[in-house]
Amino acid sequence: DGGITQSPKYLFRKEGQNVTLSCEQNLNHDAMYWYRQDPGQGLRLIYYSQIVNDFQKGDIAEGYSVSREKKESFPLTVTSAQKNPTAFYLCASSLDFNYGYTFGSGTRLTVV
């Protein structure tokens, strides 16, 4: 079945550590996106990529980095520069913004 997979489901980060969240899709979608969701809030865009080897900063890119070496994969690294990383992270993909997004099931990141 086609879909988008995020892993891990839960992730704990110590202060000063970098962590990487995985996002893989087998939908043959060109565009992929990372959003952050805080409790009771909407989604805020971190990074998006419309094509392999190209990506754009979203509204809250500081403290995060991404790569898009393969069409299927769009990993997000939360660096130690991100001072408040505890949140629910959602990855999505689509043909482009003119079509509906398919979302993964999310990764909940907690700083310990």
Partner 1 sequence: SQQGEEDPQALSIQEGENATMNCSYKTSINNLQWYRQNSGRGLVHLILIRSNEREKHSGRLRVTLDTSKKSSSLLITASRAADTASYFCATGYGGSQGNLIFGKGTKLSVKP
Q: Is 10 in the site for partner 1 (CB under 8 A)?
A: no
CB nearer partner 1, residue 73 or residue 101: 101
- Per residue, what are the HEC states of 27-84? CCCCEEEEEEECCCCCEEEEEEEEECCEEEECCCCCCEEECCCECCECCEEECCCCCC
Among 17, 20, 28, 56, binds partner 1 (CB under 8 A): 56
Q: Is 101 in the site for partner 1 (CB under 8 A)?
A: yes
What is residue 1's three-state secondary structure?
Answer: coil
- One symbol per residue from 16 to 45: x for binding partner 1 (CB under 8 A), - otherwise; what is it? ---------------x-x-x----xxxx-x
Q: Is 86 in the site for partner 1 (CB under 8 A)?
A: no
- Burial zone of 91 (CB within 10 Å; 0-12 exposed, 13-18 middle, 19+ buried): buried
Q: Which two tokens stand for residue 34?
A: 């990372």
CB nearer partner 1, residue 44 or residue 80: 44
Q: Is 48 in the site for partner 1 (CB under 8 A)?
A: yes
The contact set with partner 1 (CB under 8 A) reads 6, 31, 33, 35, 40-43, 45, 48, 50, 56, 58, 88, 90, 92, 96-106, 108
